[in-house]
């Protein structure tokens, strides 16, 4: 049932998301910014803030479950860092821009005139609201479908793919570009019996700790620390992301 919609205005978006909403009204609510509600005097529950709250929690759970399965040998610190980077505001904004969510926002005149369609916080919140709407529409399975269509390809491409193949080399390159220095690896602990040693290492650059890692050898621990650092490092700021 299409409800208020005689035609489906979200057909192209649903193809991108990989999920077809049963309730188009619910998806439409994900695009209703609070500025529009204030100007139109709409019901307090009709903007996308509640959906954004729900979507944030849903995304955190789905991302955690995916990373838990994807990296069975990684420790909690690595998984936490990976989830943080994958679900960060910057990552959400980039994905929202990629699928042009800004063009669908329902904004008040003031928000429209001040660049609200491209504002990072609006875009990130809207993408989370879409996930919240999907959860209400089809449960965790629906939200997970969208996650795998949008977020997983992002995880498996670009910087993250390079980090998987050569994390120490990639981190060296980034440190040289940003701070004109090389990362420094320090052994924190060497524990366990001789036949099952575990090494814990931290990596530092520019006077700050970037990440920690564990491994059955010092080399493996350094690689894990570099991988954690790459996942925790924020992307370099650009003029389009504020």
56 is catalytic: yes
137 is catalytic: no
Catalytic residue among 56, 75, 159, 198: 56
Cβ–Cβ under 8 Å, residues 227 and 211:
yes
Strand partners, 215: 199
Strand partners, 208: 205
Q: Which two tokens stand for residue 175?
A: 């440190």
Catalytic residue among 52, 111, 125, 128: 128
To 5 degrees, how large is the angle CA 241–CA 29–CA 47? 75
Nearest to 79 by CA among 68, 91, 69, 89: 68
CA distance 218 to 18: 43
**Virtual torsion, Cα 119, 84, 232, 152, nearest 10 deg:** -90
Q: Please state, in angstroms and as integers, the Cα–Cα distance from residue 224 to each residue in 53, 85, 218, following that order.
A: 33, 16, 10
CA distance 17 to 76: 29
Catalytic residues: 56, 128
């Amino acid at each position: 049932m299409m409800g208020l919609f005689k035609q489906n205005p979200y057909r192209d978006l649903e193809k991108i998301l990989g999920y077809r909403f049963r309730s188009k009204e619910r998806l439409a609510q994900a695009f209703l910014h609070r500025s529009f509600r204030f100007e139109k005097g709409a019901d307090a529950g009709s903007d996308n803030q509640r959906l954004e709250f729900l979507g944030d929690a849903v995304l955190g759970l789905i991302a955690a479950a995916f990373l838990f399965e994807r990296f069975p040998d990684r420790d909690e610190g690595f998984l936490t860092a990976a989830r943080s980077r994958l679900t960060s505001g910057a990552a959400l904004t980039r994905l929202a821009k990629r699928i042009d969510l800004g063009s669908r926002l329902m904004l008040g005149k003031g928000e429209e005139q001040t660049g609200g369609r491209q504002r990072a916080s609006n875009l990130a919140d809207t993408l989370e609201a879409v996930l919240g709407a999907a959860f209400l529409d089809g449960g965790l399975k629906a939200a997970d479908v969208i996650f795998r269509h949008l977020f997983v390809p992002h995880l498996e491409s670009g910087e993250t793919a390079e980090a998987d193949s050569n994390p120490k080399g990639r981190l060296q390159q980034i440190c040289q570009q940003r701070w004109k220095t090389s990362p420094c690896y320090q052994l924190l602990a060497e524990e366990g019996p001789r036949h099952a040693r575990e090494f814990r290492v931290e990596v530092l650059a520019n006077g700050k700790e970037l990440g920690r890692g564990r491994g059955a050898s010092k080399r493996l621990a350094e690689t894990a620390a570099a991988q954690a650092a790459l996942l925790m490092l924020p992307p370099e700021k650009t003029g389009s992301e504020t």
